[in-house]
């Protein structure tokens, strides 16, 4: 806030405030999810698995295919696990090279989308295929599966016995439907688009994200569709929220002259504000 008072570097202060808000929001969202994990949590994996069976997708088949191309599987795993770093890099680039409102719009869209994903998960908890489908020994390592059966066992244990504490050692990501990684993919591509050179770099990178999400063990095909829907809803809702916000400016406002207006045939005076 102090940096915003120094005009030459005010943009740095505003960027840091946005980054702090994003971190605060993510921590509180994690807390919300952790509170939802209580003893005897009922999950809806059976429902999402039934829907996904209509598409013919099989996690075992996907991991077997990935295991035959270990280099590609390793690249997909890297792209999948670097989504947060990509978001942070995009945020910095938006602050540096795009109008200020674009960074604020990206942060708001991300926060609103994350909250929508959290609320859906809280209403219909689900963990993904690694929680109930056992792979052949060693296949997870060859296919570079991030959310393997050990990870799935931790989620099942948390759902069955609850969390004894909420800290960075016990809290793990549990959202399967909708896929938040798919939300991040849409977010990155959407806000990269005005920066065309960066956009054309991001496109091939995120072409690997979609199969990576399916192979990683935490998601089904229906989760990808849900992630796209959540992103679109978050973008629409964030634009509405930003359009309804009170006018904000770092300039000082002073009263302007009274201006007569005509409304229903009667003069009404409205004091306008003029930026100084």
| Burial of 98 from C-beta contacts in 10 A (0-12 / 13-18 / 19+) | middle
- How would DSSP label each residue in 228-265? HHHHHHHHHHHHHHHHTSPP--SS-EEEEEEEEEEETT
Looking at residue 234, its pLDDT comes to 92
Looking at residue 134, its pLDDT comes to 82
Looking at residue 245, its pLDDT comes to 58
How far lies 273's CA from each of 43, 116, 276, in Å? 55, 37, 9
Give me the tens of pLDDT residue by residue for the chain, a chain 276 residues long: 888 788 777 777 877 887 788 778 777 777 777 777 766 677 888 888 888 888 888 888 888 888 888 888 888 888 888 888 888 888 888 888 887 778 888 888 888 898 889 888 888 888 888 888 888 877 788 887 888 888 888 888 777 777 777 776 666 777 888 888 899 999 999 999 888 888 898 888 888 888 888 888 878 888 899 999 999 999 999 888 877 654 544 333 334 444 444 444 444 444 444 443
Query: Are 209 and 181 a contacting pair, CB within 8 Å?
Result: yes
Which residue from 27, 23, 5 is spatially nearest to 14, judged by alpha carbons?
5
Looking at residue 39, its pLDDT comes to 61
Query: Are 176 and 52 a contacting pair, CB within 8 Å?
Result: no
Looking at residue 187, its pLDDT comes to 92
Q: Tell me the pTM.
A: 0.77
């Amino acid at each position: 806030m102090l940096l915003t008072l120094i005009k030459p570097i005010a943009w740095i202060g505003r960027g840091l405030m946005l980054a702090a808000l994003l971190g605060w929001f993510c921590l509180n969202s994690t807390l919300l999810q952790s509170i939802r994990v209580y003893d005897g949590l009922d999950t809806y994996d059976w429902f999402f698995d039934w829907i996904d069976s209509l598409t013919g997708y099989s996690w075992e088949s996907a991991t077997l295919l990935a295991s035959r191309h270990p280099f590609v599987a390793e690249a997909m795993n890297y792209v999948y696990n670097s989504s947060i770093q990509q978001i942070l890099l995009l945020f910095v680039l938006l602050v540096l090279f795009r109008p200020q409102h674009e960074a604020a719009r990206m942060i708001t869209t991300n926060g609103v989308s994350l909250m929508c994903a959290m609320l859906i998960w809280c209403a219909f908890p689900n963990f993904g295929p690694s929680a109930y489908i056992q792979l052949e020994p060693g296949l997870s390592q060859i296919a570079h599966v991030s959310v393997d059966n050990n990870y799935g066992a931790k989620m099942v244990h948390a759902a069955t016995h609850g969390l004894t504490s909420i800290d960075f050692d016990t809290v793990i990501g549990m959202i399967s439907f909708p896929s938040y990684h798919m939300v991040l993919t849409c977010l990155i591509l959407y806000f990269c688009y005005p920066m065309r050179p960066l956009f054309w770099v991001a496109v091939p990178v995120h072409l690997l994200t979609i199969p990576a999400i399916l192979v990683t063990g935490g998601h089904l095909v229906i989760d990808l569709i849900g992630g796209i829907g959540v992103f679109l809803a978050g973008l629409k809702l964030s634009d509405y929220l930003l359009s309804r916000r009170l006018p904000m400016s770092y300039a000082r406002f002073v009263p302007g002259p009274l201006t007569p207006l005509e409304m229903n045939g009667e003069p009404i005076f409205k004091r306008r504000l003029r930026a100084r």
